[in-house]
Homo-oligomer: A and B are copies of this chain.
Amino acid sequence: MEPKPPERTVGGERKHPAGDTAAGEGRRARRHDPERRTRILDAALDVLVTDGAAGITHRKVAARADVPLGSVTYHFASLADLQAQAFAWYVEQQTAQFEDLFDEVRSRQDLVEVLVDLVQGGPSRRRSAVLGFELHLAALRDPALRTLTQQWTRDSRAVLSRFTGPEAAGRLDALLEGLIMHVLLAIEPEPREVTRAAIEQALGPLTTWRG
């Protein structure tokens, strides 16, 4: 699955429908840069990871994306709009990635391993985890973002349900969220077995395999 930048899933109006067609990279500053919008969104996510919702500014995003300040405000009607679209873009990517994780799952054991990896996942996973929590917190205040968190939760549970049934999926989902946060915050690394035990138990000892 190949996520594309969301088409205004939430908030704000794109000011201009984004002219396409490639362009000469060379001469003077890149004009006609069709990926610019996505690069800005990715930069915004980077800033969100680094500095949090409290620290995002047009200027930081522009610097990170290596575009002029005016370019950010040109493509996004407001900072809130930028943030909302960045979160939407994140959810879209994240959902696809999440589904991919389970492609190879063939047994209960596989499933558990995948989930333990998800929770324990190294620094590479830190980014997504932080963004997830930022989104949740932001959604608590901005109802417009609620759409995103709901869609996300729904999708995650749907994927898990394929293996566990709906009730366990809900439990698992909540547990995973808590575990991830604890792993992120723990000073000494949580042993894999502890994580595995928690997951095993949430799966339930009696769950018939449905993968």
Q: Are B175 and A202 in contact (CB under 8 A)?
A: yes
Which residue of the partner chain, among B53, B130, B187, B194, contacts A52 with CB atoms under 8 Å?
A: B53
Interface-central residue, A137, A146, A174, by most chain B CB under 10 Å: A174
- CB-defined contacts of A176 to chain B, threshold 8 Å: 178
Report the Cα distance A185→B173, complex, angstroms. 14
Q: A162-177: contact bitstring with B at CB < 8 Å (1 yes, 0 no)?
A: 0000010011011111
Q: Does A1 lie at the interface of the complex (its beta carbon under 8 Å from any beta carbon of B)?
A: no
- Residues of A53-72 whose CB lies within 8 A of B: 53-56
- What is the count of identical protomers in the complex? 4
Given contacts A201-B204, A202-B202, contact A149 B185 (CB under 8 A): yes
Report the Cα distance A137→B51, complex, angstroms. 10
Q: Are B197 and A150 in contact (CB under 8 A)?
A: no
Report the Cα distance A130→B184, complex, angstroms. 18
Q: Are B133 and A167 in contact (CB under 8 A)?
A: no
**A63 CB → nearest B CB, Å:** 13
Q: Does A198 lie at the interface of the complex (its beta carbon under 8 Å from any beta carbon of B)?
A: yes
Which residue of the partner chain, among B139, B170, B178, contacts A194 with CB atoms under 8 Å?
A: B170
- CB-defined contacts of A56 to chain B, threshold 8 Å: 54
Q: Are B153 and A182 in contact (CB under 8 A)?
A: yes
Q: Does A47 lie at the interface of the complex (its beta carbon under 8 Å from any beta carbon of B)?
A: no
Q: Does A101 lie at the interface of the complex (its beta carbon under 8 Å from any beta carbon of B)?
A: no
The 4 closest A-B pairs by CB, nearest first: A174-B178, A177-B178, A178-B178, A54-B54
Q: Which residues of A contact B (CB under 8 A)?
A: 51-56, 130, 133-134, 136-141, 146, 149-150, 153, 167, 170-171, 173-179, 181-182, 184-185, 187, 194, 197-198, 201-202, 204
